[in-house]
Structure 1
Amino acid sequence: MHEVEVKGILSAQNGMNIYRGCTHGCIYCDSRSKCYQMNHDFEDIEVKVNAPKLLEEALRRKRKKCMIGTGSMTDPYIHLEEKLENTRKCIELIYTYGFGLAILTKSARIVRDLDLLKKINEKTKCVVQMTLTTYDENLCKIIEPNVSTTKERFEVLKVMRDNGIPTVVWLSPILPFINDTEENIRGILDYCIEAKVHGIICFGMGLTLREGNREYFYKKLDEHFPGMKSRYIESYKYAYEIPSPNNDRLMSIFRTICKAHGIMYDIKECFDYLHKFEEKNQYEQLMLSGLE
């Protein structure tokens, strides 16, 4: 790790990345792409030491409350968070200043901050987002080696369900010829149904590859799936979008199951939900806090 002081923390869309780089080791990670101009080794985490201070200044200046998002580029619960607790410090500020939170992770470490997530959700809205890609636990340990397994993430979703915190699942990416099977999709959706997730974001069955993450992905294919790199190059050349040949059938299954169980799946609707700030009235706060 290395520390830096940055000039700003919130994007125009009120998103933030507390760290840059990741140690989860997911073989498909788009954040490795060169277009993001990360001028250090991906596993050498850049720690924005003044992130909490900058966030507090930004929240103080805001005239209108809104949802604050984090986790889109770098998981807020990487291994260093256990020691540094910068994510927790930022969540505390979001609660203190009365803002909402939309947080995305693959890590069960988020349960550590359940107390704060509940407080935010009682006051405004807290949405916990979890990425699920692979129902098979053994496969999960290959393509997402250093992070909570799918089963462990499912347990987190159930914890959020039991505490009244809404959840949204990212069903992405689905790797052609590896996990683009009906069994995999149905297994993940069964988890979502049991956990009573509010919505599922799925852009289609496939993934994206560009300079930086493509090379790393192909290197890992050679390590774990001999011959698969050649199959990808033969099928897709050097395209950015890598759709599964099973896309239409799997998307049909996905939509049918979501409709049947009342799970939001329209992408625009999901993003509108994540960005919509909702302040609960006093009665709702009492009900959520168990004081009624």
Structure 2
Amino acid sequence: MTTVHIPVQAIKGRGVAHRQPHRFERDQRAAFDDGWGTLAEATAAGEEAAAPATQVTFEDARSAITHNDSPDIGFTLGLNPYRGCEHGCLYCYARPTHSYLNLSPGLDFETKIIAKRNIAAVLRSELLRPAYAPDLLAIGTVTDAYQPVERELRLTRAVLELLHTAHHPLAMVTKGSGVERDIDLLAPMGAQRLAAVYVTITTLDAQLARILEPRAAAPHRRLRTIRTLAEAGVPTGVSVSPQIPFINDDMERVLEAAYEAGARRAFYQVLRLPWELSDMFRLWLEQHYPDRAARVMARIQDMRGGKDYDADFATRMKGQGIWADLLRQRFVKTCDRLGFNRGREPLDASLFRPSALRGQGDLF
């Protein structure tokens, strides 16, 4: 695929350095040197377009709860208040979903955010349906529910208020420290086995995190979030995902730090590179780790049956082969040594009370 490049220095704080054409595009454009040297001169002078600002647009969602029957995912109900994510994590497997919107999974994914402004009202209607069967609702599993725009829009907050009122179980995965704002809702729910929060810490290396996850909270700040949640009584866990060979090799240190901060649950996944993400990750490696790019991709392919990615349900989350097994052993042995995932009780859906929502219309 042809890519339109933007120099790294021109996009400080972004995850990728180009607008990746999506797989449905008919026309692709690239900068062109006409022989006069103007392109090279402009590049040397740093005269390309300034770093793109975040744009937020709104949509009216037709549904709030998504359903999945994937056997390798531990929940059937999900909810995501936003499309796209300003955190700009280079490795995000959700990037290719922007292609369905005729937007780039590269810069557009992290600069063009779509907010589902009516998601709380739609969720309320769905929870009140007579046929609705309560189950664990996973929030922010595609894009982060606590990305920066949430501070002003408070869509996630509105969802939590509904679930709190209805005593509906939920679990969240986030890299955003903004989750601390909602401890007043999460703490009492946690005490009733209605809520759990997982904080993703990919690495403790701040320099690496800055180029992998440029607008997410710093690693030390995420550890503080774990501590704050745990001290408030919220069942708290850590996700050490994704594992990227020869890039973030500090899994054990992350787990130790998270346990010390109060996390008692943990899980991991290996890097996934569906669709356009494969090209984007390869370019990122060439920009930041050219000396080991070939070695990283070789190891990834070792875990994917010789391919950049294999979507098979049996292996897509953890990989296959000797290197995937080595990662599994490291994770299991470290969790056993520290005490993760012991006596873990499931969240309780029996407390669900939809009738409590019938007087909530004034919230919207």
Identify the TM-score tier after normalising by the shorter chain. 0.7 to 0.9
Q: Which moved more, 1:128-137 or 1:254-263?
A: 254-263
**Shift, 1:87, TM fit:** 0.6
Match of 2:160 in 1: 91
Q: Deviations over 1:4-32 (max 9, x none)?
A: 11211102322111100011111111001
Unmatched 5+ stretches in structure 2 = 1-55, 68-75, 311-318, 353-364
Letter in 2 for 1:196: G
Match of 1:108 in 2: 177
Match of 1:263 in 2: 340
Indicate the structure with greater helix content: 1
Greater relative contact order (CA < 8 Å, ≥ 6 in sequence): 1
Are 2:306 and 1:229 aligned?
no
CA distance in 2, matches of 1:81, 1:258: 33
Contact 1:34 1:211 in 2 (8 A): no
Unmatched 5+ stretches in structure 1 = 281-292
Match of 2:283 in 1: 219
User: Among residues 233, 240, 256, which one is paired with 1:190 in the alignment?
Assistant: 256
CA distance in 1, matches of 2:177, 2:113: 20
CA distance in 2, matches of 1:38, 1:53: 23
- Calculate the TM-score normalised by the size of structure 2: 0.67
Contact 1:24 1:78 in 2 (8 A): yes
User: Among residues 42, 59, 73, which one is paired with 2:109 in the alignment?
Assistant: 42
Q: Deviations over 1:40-80 (max 9, x none)?
A: 33121111111011011112226554332211101001111
Give the aligned CA root-mean-square deviation in angstroms.
2.7
Match of 2:346 in 1: 273
Which of 1 and 2 has greater Rg?
A: 2
Contact 2:172 2:196 in 1 (8 A): yes
For 1:97-246, list aligned pairs within 5 A. Answer: 97-180=166-249, 184-203=250-269, 206-234=270-298, 236=301, 238-240=307-309
Letter in 2 for 1:16: L
CA distance in 1, matches of 2:205, 2:321: 18
**Shift, 1:230, TM fit:** 3.4
Q: Which moved more, 1:129-138 or 1:252-261?
A: 252-261
Q: Deviations over 1:222-274 (max 9, x none)?
A: 22212443334555364205779754444323212212333128xxx98x936
Q: What is the aligned-residue identity percentage?
A: 30
Q: Which moved more, 1:149-158 or 1:231-240?
A: 231-240
Aligned residues: 270
CA distance in 1, matches of 2:161, 2:184: 10
- Calculate the TM-score normalised by the size of structure 1: 0.83
